[in-house]
Structure 1
């Protein structure tokens, strides 16, 4: 089994320096173009399935990639980005100003991070991503593509490498 993993394409909120989580932001023209180019690069691989986060930016990325590879797309709720609660849609600088300690913990000391209103902890994220990972492995296949988000990618890496939360440091992506 070969598993290919990619992050969704560039979004408007990426360009605007806004925190993304469960809320969606549309792909930019560059994000769309990069997804199409990735599809072109992967077109000679016979994919059994594409597993995608159910968030719009990931679905759109999977759709553009799939124009060239024509695989079944399965949406997996547990592959969605980490939920950031009230931080979502806020400028990163504003989050840092208002929530300095937790902002710093999020980026540098994830084991100390405490989510703000309606946010998700790293522990919660890791449990759901591990469940999704285990289900994907159990389903099998020769070639699988996963389209997801930055923090989920890091969680998958941690799961594969059996790293502890203390080493999750987002800045080390």
Structure 2
């Protein structure tokens, strides 16, 4: 089984530097165009199904990637972005001013991050791991597309590589509509491609 994992396209809050989390912000025209470009680059792959975060920015991206195909889109709550609680909708500058210690932990010491009414990174990883295990249970699938968010993709990387929470923000950077590909053989998972954006250069 091959699992293709894409981050959603650029949103209005991305441009404004606002935290999104469980709250949604619509795709920009660039976000829509980039999603379509990714879809064009994947058009020759026959996906058995598409798993998407139910948040609008991810679901819309999934639809633009799918284009006119009728591949089934399955909404999966385990693929939602990290719940950022009180930070959602706030700009990075506002958070740095109001919650300097936890903002620094969020960026530099994720193992020590304490969310203001949301999730910790460890809680996210546990949620994502459970969801990923459910997805790979169906061994009849050959190609699956997942459309989700930065922190979910980072959590998957932690799970697959066996890294620690402190390594959460290790490179590569997860750009909008970037593509990661996993290969699953006998439930063993290997990274084939990570955070690729070559479709944006076409």
Q: What band does the TM-score fall into relative to the shorter chain?
A: over 0.9
| Structure 2 unaligned residues grouped into runs of 5+ | 174-202
In structure 1, what is the equivalent of residue 106 of structure 2? 106
- In terms of fraction of residues, the more helix-rich structure is 1
In structure 1, what is the equivalent of residue 196 of structure 2? none
TM-score where L is the length of structure 2: 0.82
Deviation at 1:71, TM superposition (A): 1.4
Quickly say closer, same or farther: Cα 1:27–1:67, change in 2 above 3 A: same
In structure 2, what is the equivalent of residue 48 of structure 1? 48
Q: Distance in 2 between matches of 1:72 and 1:26?
A: 22
- In terms of fraction of residues, the more strand-rich structure is 2
Number of aligned residues: 172
Residue deviations 1:68-113, cap 9 Å, x none? 5431110000100000011000011110111111001011101100
Residue deviations 1:127-159, cap 9 Å, x none? 110001100111231001100000000000110
In structure 1, what is the equivalent of residue 33 of structure 2? 33
In structure 1, what is the equivalent of residue 61 of structure 2? 61
Q: Distance in 1 between matches of 2:162 and 2:133?
A: 14
Deviation at 1:51, TM superposition (A): 0.5
**Which aligned runs of 4 or more in structure 1 are off by greater than 6 angstroms?**
none
Q: 1:20-169 residue pairs with structure 2 within 5 A?
A: 20-116=20-116, 118-140=117-139, 141-169=141-169
Contact 2:13–2:19 (8 Å) recurs in 1: yes
TM-score where L is the length of structure 1: 0.96
| SS of equivalent to 2:5 | strand
| Structure 1 unaligned residues grouped into runs of 5+ | none
What is the CA RMSD across the aligned residues, in angstroms?
Answer: 1.3
In structure 1, what is the equivalent of residue 200 of structure 2? none
Deviation at 1:170, TM superposition (A): 6.5
